[in-house]
Chain A
Amino acid sequence: EVQLLDSGGGLVQPGGSLRLSCEASEFTLSTFAMSWVRQAPGKGLEWVSSISGLTGKTAYADSVKGRFTVSRDTSKNTLYLQMSSLRSDDTAVYYCATVLRKDWEPWAPFHYWGQGTLVAVSS
């Protein structure tokens, strides 16, 4: 069964940086589009970023564009989210997820999710 393991969260000061990881098992990460979705405490879900499986083409929500970078290491079967210039409103649980499509298709459902990793931005 597909398993996605999120890690890398923690407490960071405003303006700081953090890199999240999502390790995939029973699943070749580079074959499918992968995404990050976040959830602020007590709030709803928000799509953050995606990367297509074959082309590596990326997409970002306006709220993180220019500050976050999504990437992957196919040798480690791991997805990353490099976050910089962090703000208090970036505080959230970050989930990696896949739409099980080769390319990022924003109309496709998120079939599998990681367990999430908490990022807290505070001084």
Chain B
Amino acid sequence: QSALTQPASVSGSPGQSITISCTGTSVDVGGYNFVSWYQQYPGKAPKLLIYDITYLASGVSSRFSGSKSGNTASLTISGLQADDEADYYCSSYVGITSSVTFGGGTTLTVL
């Protein structure tokens, strides 16, 4: 069981915006601004999208954005495109164990 909770799936139509949540606790998401988001296509390695809550990784489209409120971080994708269809994972620093933990992943379907 993953330490961070993500919805199993989300969907949206091309051009729409969607938001994926990542819920933790005060010892991880809520306690630090060290949440990252990764995109993974089937059979491929994860790709860094966002780090430190809001910062875009190099070369990543500005359609991706991140935020945090309390113990929940969120990834928003605006202007959905077909190639956004993938799995998305959040990760967070865990202070009490000085380690990193991931969410269970969210499958995005573009209708």
List, in ascending order, chain B residues with CB within 8 A of A46's CB.
Answer: 102
Interface size on B, residues (CB 8 A): 25
Q: Mark B93-111, 1 if CB is under 8 A from A, else 0.
A: 1100011111111000000
Do residues B102 and A115 form an inter-chain contact, with CB atoms below 8 A? no
Tell me the bound Cα distance from A109 to B49 in angstroms: 10
Whether A95 sits at the interface, judged by CB under 8 Å, is yes
Q: Mark A97-112, 1 if CB is under 8 A from B, else 0.
A: 0000000001111110
Interface residues of B in 4-39 (CB under 8 A from A): 32, 34, 36, 38
Do residues A113 and B45 form an inter-chain contact, with CB atoms below 8 A? yes
Do residues B99 and A61 form an inter-chain contact, with CB atoms below 8 A? yes
Query: Is chain B's binding surface mostly helix, strand, loop or mixed?
Result: strand
Whether A54 sits at the interface, judged by CB under 8 Å, is no
Q: A61-B99, A106-B93, A106-B94 are in contact. Are A113 and B47 (CB under 8 A)?
A: yes
Do residues A115 and B45 form an inter-chain contact, with CB atoms below 8 A? yes
Question: Shortest CB–CB separation between residue B38 and chain A, in angstroms?
Answer: 8
Interface residues of B in 57-95 (CB under 8 A from A): 57, 89, 91, 93-94
List, in ascending order, chain A residues with CB within 8 A of B45's CB.
Answer: 95, 113-116
A positions within 8 Å CB-CB of B: 43-47, 59, 61, 95, 106-111, 113-116
